[in-house]
Amino acid sequence: MRSLLITASVAVACTVALAGQGPLRTQWGDPDLQGIWSSTAVSAVPFERPSQFGGRAQLTDAELAELASAVQRQATADAGEFVAPGPASPVPLAPSHWLESARASRQTSLIVDPPDGRLPPMTEDGVRRAKAWPSTNPAVGYARAQDFNVYDRCISRGVLGSSFPNIYSSALEIVQAPGLVAIRYEMVHETRIVPLDGRPHVSPAIRSYMGDARGRWDGQTLVVETKNFNGLTGSLARNGNGNPTSPALRLVERFTRRDGETLDYSVVVDDPQTWTRPWTVAFPLIRDPKHPTFEYACHEGNYAIPNMLRAFRAAEAAR
């Protein structure tokens, strides 16, 4: 692993810039996707398309202007040192300036297929598992930490939860070396190593939260196919807390560098055990070399789980 990290570190410094002469390429000739990329700009885009837009994938000029005003008002409020007290909160609260600010985007939904921008219907098994999805619910009375889902325990967000835009920790870093691509996510600090040498997937008996990834180049686009998931992560909205996936999940991601500052990303979610048809999410990532990629010490500092378990035991003892 140490030699891999050294190789990848050297690779970062070996990019051949061909500005004005076509796409950027690495020294060994692959399209260059390296850098820190953020999806914060589209964090205000709804996951599913609001019904009033129907099949319309983009906002009109007037709708975009209205959204831009709302985004600016939120940014102004977030910049304040305190949140003013009000009827619901007589004590001033800490402001939300630690969150990352969105931009106004024409996209009406992150889901681009089906054409209505909505999730397809779930299978009967998908509906059953969605209803049984464990969540932080004080009425449940969990007996042990393992009764909470992997989201609450800060173990993993899976590929989808790590990739989707959020109000914080929405960056990823791509590092390339000959024959592989490494993708490091700010959300729960997962790192995926994607081989490009045509090797087959590992045995289906080997499964994990992030699956088994294999990549290839399709012109200027990096195509990553991932399977062998363990079915314990979600796929809902921002960071995967809800809409469970199954071990049948297969993802096909595409990374295409549109220009020096934009990386187009899409993922086809194919899980026939959960949904009646595949669905696709797409959005742009913006290059941001100054993005502060913070450690995501959620699991290490997750005092909520033991505190909730103590509270459940105390409530039981008081009955």
Per-residue model confidence as pLDDT tens digits over 39-63: 988 988 999 999 999 899 999 999 9
Q: What is the DSSP string of 247-312?
A: TT-EEEEEEEEEETTEEEEEEEEE-TTTBSS-EEEEEEEEE-TT-------TTTT--HHHHHHHHH
CA distances from 54 to 17, 62, 109, 122 (A): 43, 17, 11, 20
pLDDT computed for residue 9 by the predictor? 43
Between CA 129 and CA 115 the distance in angstroms is 26
When pLDDT is averaged across residues 171-185 and rounded to a whole number, the result is 96
Per-residue model confidence as pLDDT tens digits over 228-265: 999 999 998 778 888 899 999 999 999 999 999 999 99
pLDDT computed for residue 99 by the predictor? 72
Mean pLDDT of all residues belonging to the chain: 86
Q: Does residue 30 form part of some domain?
A: yes
Q: Does residue 174 form part of some domain?
A: yes
- For residue 183, the enclosing domain spans 2-58+65-75+95-317
Q: Quick check: 182 pLDDT over 70? A: yes
Q: Does residue 210 form part of some domain?
A: yes
Cis omega before residue 114 (within 30°)? Answer: yes
Report the run of H or E that residue 66 belongs to, with start and end.
helix 61-78
Amino acid letter, 123: T
pLDDT-derived band of residue 147, with 50, 70 and 90 as boundaries?
confident
pLDDT computed for residue 246 by the predictor? 97
Beta carbons of 261 and 287 less than 8 angstroms apart: yes
Q: Does residue 85 form part of some domain?
A: no
pTM for this model (two decimals): 0.86
Q: Does residue 84 form part of some domain?
A: no
Beta carbons of 16 and 24 less than 8 angstroms apart: yes
What is the token pair recorded at 53?
């837009």
What is the token pair recorded at 283?
């959005």
Q: Does residue 175 form part of some domain?
A: yes
For residue 204, the tally of other CB atoms under 10 A from its CB is: 10
What is the token pair recorded at 158?
């899976």
Q: Quick check: 36 pLDDT over 90? A: yes
- What is the number of structural domains in the chain? 1
Per-residue model confidence as pLDDT tens digits over 116-141: 999 999 999 999 999 888 765 656 67
| Between 282 and 82, residue with greater pLDDT | 282
Q: Quick check: 307 pLDDT over 60? A: yes
* Neighbouring residues of 57: CB distance < 8 A, sequence distance ≥ 6: 49, 107, 108, 109, 112, 117
Per-residue model confidence as pLDDT tens digits over 261-282: 999 999 999 999 999 999 999 9
Q: Does residue 87 form part of some domain?
A: no
Between CA 222 and CA 32 the distance in angstroms is 10
Q: Quick check: 25 pLDDT over 90? A: yes
